[in-house]
Amino acid sequence: MTAASLQDSVGRKLLRRLAAAWYGTRLYALTLPRKAPLELPVLPDDPWSGTVSNADRLFQGRFVFAGAEVVSPRAAPWSVAATEAGLDPASHAAWAAGLHGFVWLRDFATQSGDMARRMARSLVADWIAKHSLSIRGLPWQPAIAGRRLSQWLLASHFLLDGADDAFGHDFLLSIARHAAHLKRASSFAPAGWPRFDATLGAAYGAEALGQAQDKVALQALCAALDAQVMADGGHVSRNPSLLYRMLRDLVALWRFLQAVDPERAAMLQPYLDRMAPMLRTLRHGDGGLALFHGGEEENAAQIDLLLDLSDAKGKPLASATHSGFERAAAKRALLLLDAAVAPPRAANVKPHSGPLAFEFSHGKDRLIVNCGASRRMGGNWATALSGVAAHSTLCLGDREPAAGTSVSVSRNEQDGAIWFEAEHDGWHAACNRIYRRRLYLSAGGEDLRGEDIVSEGPVATHGVMPVEAVLRLHLHPGMHASLIGSGDTVILKTASGQGWRWRGMGGVVRLEDSVYLGVGGEVRRTQQIVMAGSAGAEPLVFKWALTKIN
């Protein structure tokens, strides 16, 4: 960080504190609307469904957000402190952001019925009574207020249908107050996802209240998108799930704008046209997403719907050079390679260290995967899942690749076959080692071959100390694996009943336990193929082949 950018960062933080102090005063509250609009000129529709089981938990007074649960059967826990909830401050803040963000209204709307509507209205009314007049604290952080306003407006048809005049008045007044506040405060949200949430809410508020003719709110949202959406459509976190969730938010707003003013909708079109093909790039044959940098599979049917509603026709990218992914498709086979360094740490995003990790699927069967990440467990779990050993790549001792690792990848194609020549220098500083990986996928998609090489770096050394190298190929839990023969062959059977043979040479082969957290953070037991050897002065070469048994 340069001196100028550091000074700017410090200045922004100071302005943010001063703004928050001003917003928390009674005088500031008096500047917000005190008269409810008679109606909202136009209301958005929510194209996305929630989960009925989540609504059932809320009916029971179980408030589960960000992997933490607080049980409060008699009243909404708006003001539960971290100590009362039994959570550390960071976990409590993440849980409270989920509570005050109101995305869970979608779960009630999906359950539908009069009881769900009454419960949802009761919770919204209770929040308004307790928090609407005092613009301070976590509930009114710009990102959380923006997310709440977006969700209230998306759920407005559901909430207002059959509501009495008192609820309608208080709800519309709070909408107006949120919109007026976000018009001023959204620019003070921290850069990254918080800025996106804040400006998204401001854009929804301006449109719903008929105040968007000057396009200021949409221009601010586009600026927030420019900072997060790369030229090839990927998200700066390199997390496929975050790309999916951002595109969902944008498509919902875009559809709303199409009904209100197609000219303003056109401002979002370039982002949809880039992001949708990138999302297709990161899908496996089962329709779910690959597990890179904290992502999960997500719901395949919802991804289908999202891509359909986006109306973006771009095809998957073979090489996403800005996002750092390579995609090799051959008949029913798909190979996805992480071809870049870990992204910088961003707010609420923990980057994963797995340079040159890959995933491989055939049809709807996932064979080789990464372990994924958990939204429900932090601490040692989060550290382990973000480490190199949780990825299908090579590990060197107990060292993690250094920050700022340099990665290079070349792609080659001939007669339908695709192969990659790649390397990274993540262990150069620690022990003067270079890692090279070659991956070859046959034109028929039924033969995947790999060569993993550890050699000395460019700095000449004497008396090189050997270091253990371990190649890990994590298997999807739908796979059944058996080590056979002389111990260098593994027979695999997929969930669909297909047989595959993996054979390795150059190291000791064994099967070990592993875990998979690709769906909802649930820990599923699985296995991993491991090949180990000692990397000394001479290059260590692991060769392996994965072949379909016909």
The model's pLDDT over 56-87, given as tens digits with 9 standing for 90+, comes to 999 999 999 988 889 988 888 998 888 988 88
Percent of the chain with pLDDT over 90: 73
Q: How many residues does the chain have?
A: 550
Q: Once rounded to an integer, what is the mean pLDDT over residues 255-268?
A: 93
Amino acid in position 327: R
Mean pLDDT over each residue of the chain, to the nearest integer: 91
Cα distances from 498 to residues 244, 288, 358, 398, 547, in angstroms, run: 30, 20, 21, 35, 11
Predicted TM-score of the model (pTM): 0.93
Helix (H, G, I), strand (E, B) or coil at 218: helix
* Residue 235 main-chain phi, psi, to 5 deg: -85, 145
The domain locations on the chain are 324-549
Distance CA 185, CA 202 (A): 9
Tokens for 231, please give them: 């030229």
At 377, is the pLDDT very low, low, confident or very high (cuts 50, 70, 90)? Answer: low
Note the pLDDT of residue 202.
96
Model confidence pLDDT, tens digit, residues 193-211: 999 999 999 999 999 998 8
Residue 244 makes CB contacts below 8 A (sequence gap 6+) with 279, 289, 298, 303, 306
DSSP states along 143-176: HHHHHHHHHHHHTHHHHHTT--HHHHHHHHHHHH
Cα distances from 5 to residues 11, 15, 180, 225, 402, in angstroms, run: 10, 15, 30, 20, 24
Residue 113 makes CB contacts below 8 A (sequence gap 6+) with none
Selected from 1.10.10.10, 3.40.50.300, 3.40.50.1970, 2.70.98.70, the CATH number assigned to the domain covering 324-549 reads 2.70.98.70
At 212, is the pLDDT very low, low, confident or very high (cuts 50, 70, 90)? Answer: confident
Q: Once rounded to an integer, what is the mean pLDDT over residues 278-305?
A: 96
At 155, is the pLDDT very low, low, confident or very high (cuts 50, 70, 90)? Answer: very high
